[in-house]
């Protein structure tokens, strides 16, 4: 890779520089948000408390408003609250939340997506992993439309689908409109107890044409990883080599619904569990598509299931518009293959660029 | 000349309500109610004919009444009075065959309405989240009421092919709930504690009895302007409730059991004859089922008055809450809230109750 470093990626460098600027701005904003939240919540904000609060309220969004500060207030259960007024407010909103949950007075959509639970509990549980563990850096978030349907197509890797969950947190936390990503998941997810329940509540649904088209026609942001098990369960030696993109069904779905395709490259997820072997017999016995053997798993037991703390970068590419094609284009196999290849190439190239840019796997 | 409507399965309370309601419609001249057993409820001014639709006698009843509209409501999941599952299946399948045979021979029949159920879609993990009328079921129901409805719909399709002059309307109702509904799901929700499948929180959809009557009325009459009432339609209230939400709104504690244990307990209860907790009920309570109702609105021109949540609220009002009434929980939370500022601790974790 050493000689690859001389390839100039001017547009990207400027982009990353602007991302850096954004990050700085975000950092400043968060400090402001911390002050705001304590100011809004409390009559006598203690300067010390604000100072201590600031690292607990890490940088999350580009736009900081009063409303935003209030939103940061809500998932308070996990945050140490030191000032009385804020605590009271947090307890009150926490109790209101508890009251709604206990009496069942909340709403889910047709797919079982529980917006309240996702916002206030599930994403907050994933956020430490996103911010502290994998330190995800997001580029090109503006390529996701502010509103209306869009199909995000990403690479898939890492033995466990942590990349999909991090992508969902990234879209929600970094996008100015805080959009929710509705992921399309493999059927295995909906067979497993507990997993299927959580997946539905997080807004995921089965990767099938019907569900994808329904979500897109409702103007939702849909995420798909067309590599599927081929991508997530590939051996470590094949990292960052995109696998075949299924049958390209996602392209015809996007064409039929006339929504743009946003290519997305996730770097860093490929190294979280270096899969050096695959116990196929055991996998078949357990009914799984693969059974990973890593340097630590299953030798160290549950300890071996801890992912490596790699540094991640998620880059969203330029959206590929689909509304220019005629209505019958969705049934044209050649166009399908062309567009599928275009998306695939774009993701693969961006992956290479990200790999060249990164200093190390862990930093 | 007004319509002559023949209604089967009139001994059931829902069909009885439909009979009483449709007589008040001005375009209806006469209603003939048919069932094998005399109904306990009154049927308004309708003529009751005691006939078993499993017997060829139904053809004579149909010919003598000169009915032009047949509303087939005798497709049900539970026996009316202590009948076995075999009797129910016979009434559903053989009864439908006999009735359709009679209709085919009758020149006067112009319209056929069949009550079906969204059970025909089955319930599996590989199914799309939302079924439309054209979605093929991934796993066809293997038995029980669901298989009956699949077979009934098959015969109805065959009839529609043979008699293209008859307007055939199949209404696939979601789980019917209401103050008087006697569906398997209603008896499930009446259990003091609700056994659930561990690790699954199915999405459920309900339709209110009143909406069932209205949908049947629309299907039984001439279509209104710019609507069309032949074909197959899903009928369900708007929105979705999770089983956990239902249990909390009903105030009945859930007892999560592992799936094999649920299947075993279900068969045990069935053997003892306590409830008709069939395998497809267990599948429904594992994977749930949601149907799209766009066709119902657009083509049939029917808008339900009750959403799924309102239907369930009405059901809860009629049945009363269980061991853990939601109001008591709210009071408990309020008591903690009153203690909290003084105690200074927020010792409870909403996370545990949330999922």
pLDDT tens digit sequence for B202-222 = 999 999 999 999 999 999 999
B329 interfacial to chain A (CB closer than 8 Å): yes
Given an 8 Å threshold on Cβ–Cβ distance, is A95 in contact with B288? Answer: no
pLDDT at A5: 43
Mean pLDDT throughout B19-23? 94
Nearest alpha-carbon partner for A203 in A251, A254, A164: A164
Q: Are strands B175-177 and B206-208 parallel, antiparallel or unpaired?
A: parallel
Residues comprising chain A, all counted? 363
CATH of the domain at A165: 3.40.1130.10
Q: Which of B279, B242, B235 is nearest to B260 (CA)?
A: B279
Tell me which of A46, A77, A103 is where a domain ends: A103
Which of residues A103, A133, A155 is at a domain's end? A103
The two most distant CA atoms of chain A are separated, in Å, by 67
pLDDT digits (tens, 9 = 90+) for A175-215: 999 999 999 999 999 999 999 999 999 999 999 999 999 99
Report yes or no: B195 and B265 within 8 Å, Cβ to Cβ. Answer: yes
Bridge partners (DSSP) of residue B255 are B195
**Residue A301 region, left (φ>0) first, then alpha (ψ -120 to 50), else beta?**
left
In a shared domain, residues A138 and A69: no
- Which one of B129, B199, B349 has the shortest CB-CB distance to A111? B129
What does the pLDDT look like over A82-95, one tens digit per residue? 556 788 888 888 88
Interface residues of A toward B, Cβ cutoff 8 Å, are 77, 87-88, 90-92, 94-95, 97-99, 101-112, 114, 117, 121, 125, 187, 190-198, 200-201, 205-206, 208, 210-211, 214
Q: Identify which has the larger pLDDT, B125 or A215.
A: A215
pLDDT for residue B274: 59
Per the rule left: phi > 0, alpha: psi between -120 and 50, beta: everything else, B31 is: beta
Helix (H, G, I), strand (E, B) or coil at A210: helix
What's CA A228's distance to the chain center, in Å? 16
Q: Is residue A229 part of a domain?
A: yes
Q: Which residue has the tokens 């998932």?
A: A75
Query: Cβ contacts (< 8 Å) between B242 and chain A: which residues?
Result: 108, 112, 114
Question: Which is higher by pLDDT, A312 or A12?
Answer: A312
Residue A142 in any domain: the answer is yes
Quickly state the pLDDT bin for A250 (edges 50, 70, 90): very high
Is A312 domain-assigned? yes
Residues A340 and A231 in one domain: yes
Give the structural domain span for A210.
Answer: 115-272+307-357
CB of A117 closer than 8 Å to CB of B354: yes
- B141 vs B201, which has greater pLDDT? B201
Closest Cα in chain A, distance from residue B88 (Å): 32
In-domain check, residue A73: yes
Distance between CA B154 and CA B141 in Å, rounded? 14
- Integer-rounded Cα Rg, in Å, for chain A is 21
Answer whether residue A40 is part of any domain.
yes
For residue A171, give Cα distances in angstroms to A52, A204, A205: 28, 14, 17
Mean local confidence (pLDDT), A127-149: 95
Domain count, chain A: 2
- Whether residues A78 and A171 fall in one domain: no
Alpha carbon separation from B67 to A234, A308, B5, B94, B224 (Å, rounded): 67, 75, 6, 21, 21
In which residue are the tokens 């006939």 written?
B51
Q: Is residue A75 part of a domain?
A: yes
| DSSP state at residue A298 | T
Residues A158 and A81 in one domain: no
For position A136, what pLDDT does the model report? 95
pLDDT per residue as tens digits for the range B294-321: 999 999 999 999 999 999 999 999 988 8
Q: CA A105 to CA B326: how far, in whole Å?
A: 10
Confidence of residue A46 (pLDDT cuts 50, 70, 90): very low
Residues A127 and A89 placed together within one structural domain of the fold: no
pLDDT class of B277 with cuts at 50, 70, 90: low
Q: What is the pLDDT of residue B336?
A: 79
Are B118 and B291 in contact by the 8 Å Cβ rule? The answer is yes
| Percent of chain B scoring above 70 in pLDDT | 93
pLDDT surpassing 50 at residue B323: yes
- Residue B273: which pLDDT band, with cuts at 50, 70 and 90? low
B79-93 pLDDT per residue, tens: 776 667 788 888 999
- Nearest CB to B129; choose among A87, A101, A206: A206
Boundary residue ending a domain (A41, A74, A103): A103
- Please determine, for residue A41, whether its predicted confidence score (pLDDT) is greater than 80: no
């Amino acid at each position: 890779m050493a000689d690859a470093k001389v390839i100039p990626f001017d547009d990207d460098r400027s982009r990353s520089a602007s991302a850096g600027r954004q990050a700085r701005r975000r950092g400043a904003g968060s400090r402001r948000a911390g002050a705001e939240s304590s100011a809004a919540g409390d009559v006598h904000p203690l300067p010390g408390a604000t100072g201590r609060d600031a690292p607990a309220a890490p940088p999350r969004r580009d736009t900081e408003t009063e409303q935003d500060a209030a939103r940061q207030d809500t998932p308070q259960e996990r945050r140490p609250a030191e000032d009385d007024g804020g605590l009271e407010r947090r307890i009150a909103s926490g109790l209101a939340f508890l009251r709604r949950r206990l009496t069942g007075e909340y709403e889910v959509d047709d797919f079982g997506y529980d917006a309240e639970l996702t916002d206030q509990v599930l994403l907050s549980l994933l956020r430490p992993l996103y911010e502290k563990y994998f330190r995800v850096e997001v580029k090109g978030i503006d390529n996701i439309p502010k509103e209306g349907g869009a199909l995000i197509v990403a690479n898939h890797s890492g033995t466990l689908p942590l990349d999909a969950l991090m992508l969902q947190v990234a879209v929600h936390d970094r996008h100015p409109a805080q959009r929710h990503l509705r992921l399309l998941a493999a059927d295995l997810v909906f067979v497993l107890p507990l997993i299927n329940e959580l997946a539905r509540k997080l807004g995921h649904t089965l990767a099938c044409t019907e569900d994808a088209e329904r979500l897109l026609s409702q103007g939702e942001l849909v995420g798909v990883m067309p590599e599927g098990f081929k991508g997530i369960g590939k051996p470590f030696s094949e990292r960052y080599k995109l696998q075949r993109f299924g049958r390209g069904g996602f392209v015809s779905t996007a064409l039929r619904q006339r929504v743009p395709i946003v290519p997305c490259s996730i770097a860093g997820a490929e190294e979280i569990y270096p899969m050096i072997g695959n116990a196929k017999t055991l996998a078949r016995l357990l009914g799984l598509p693969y059974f990973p053997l890593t340097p630590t798993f299953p030798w160290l037991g549950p300890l071996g299931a801890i992912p490596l703390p790699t540094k991640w970068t998620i880059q969203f590419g330029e959206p590929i518009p689909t509304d220019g094609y005629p209505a019958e284009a969705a049934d044209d196999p050649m166009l399908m293959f062309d567009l599928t290849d275009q998306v695939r190439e774009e993701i693969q190239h961006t992956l290479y660029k990200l790999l060249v840019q990164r200093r190390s796997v862990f930093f | 000349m007004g319509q002559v409507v023949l209604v089967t399965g009139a001994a059931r309370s829902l069909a009885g309500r439909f009979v009483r309601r449709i007589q008040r419609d001005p375009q209806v001249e006469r209603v003939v109610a048919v069932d094998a057993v005399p109904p306990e409820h009154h049927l308004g001014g309708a003529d009751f004919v005691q006939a078993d639709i499993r017997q060829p006698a139904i053809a004579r009843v149909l010919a003598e009444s000169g009915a032009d509209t047949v509303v087939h409501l005798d497709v049900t999941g539970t026996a009316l009075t202590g009948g076995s599952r075999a009797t129910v299946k016979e009434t559903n399948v053989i009864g439908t065959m006999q009735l359709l045979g009679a209709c085919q021979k009758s020149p006067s029949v112009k319209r056929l309405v069949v009550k079906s159920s969204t059970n025909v879609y089955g319930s599996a993990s590989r199914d799309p989240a939302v079924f439309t009328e054209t979605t093929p079921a991934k796993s066809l129901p293997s038995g029980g009421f669901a298989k009956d409805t699949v077979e009934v719909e098959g015969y109805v399709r065959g009839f529609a092919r043979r008699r293209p002059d008859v307007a055939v309307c199949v209404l696939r109702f979601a789980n019917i709930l209401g103050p008087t509904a006697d569906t398997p799901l209603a008896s499930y929700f009446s259990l003091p504690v609700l056994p659930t499948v561990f690790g699954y929180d199915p999405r459920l959809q309900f339709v209110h009895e009143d909406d069932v009557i209205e949908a049947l009325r629309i299907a039984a009459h001439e279509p209104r302007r710019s609507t069309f009432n032949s074909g197959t339609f899903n009928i369900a209230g708007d929105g979705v409730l999770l089983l956990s939400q239902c249990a909390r709104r009903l105030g009945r504690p859930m007892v999560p059991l592992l799936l094999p244990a649920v299947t075993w307990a279900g068969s045990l209860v069935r053997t003892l004859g306590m409830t008709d907790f069939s395998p497809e009920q267990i599948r429904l309570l594992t994977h749930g089922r949601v149907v799209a109702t766009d066709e119902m609105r657009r083509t049939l021109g029917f808008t339900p008055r009750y959403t799924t949540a309102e239907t369930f609220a009405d059901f809860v009002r009629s049945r009363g809450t269980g061991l853990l009434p939601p109001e008591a929980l709210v009071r408990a939370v309020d008591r903690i809230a009153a203690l909290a500022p003084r105690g200074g601790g927020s010792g409870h974790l909403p996370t545990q109750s949330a999922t």
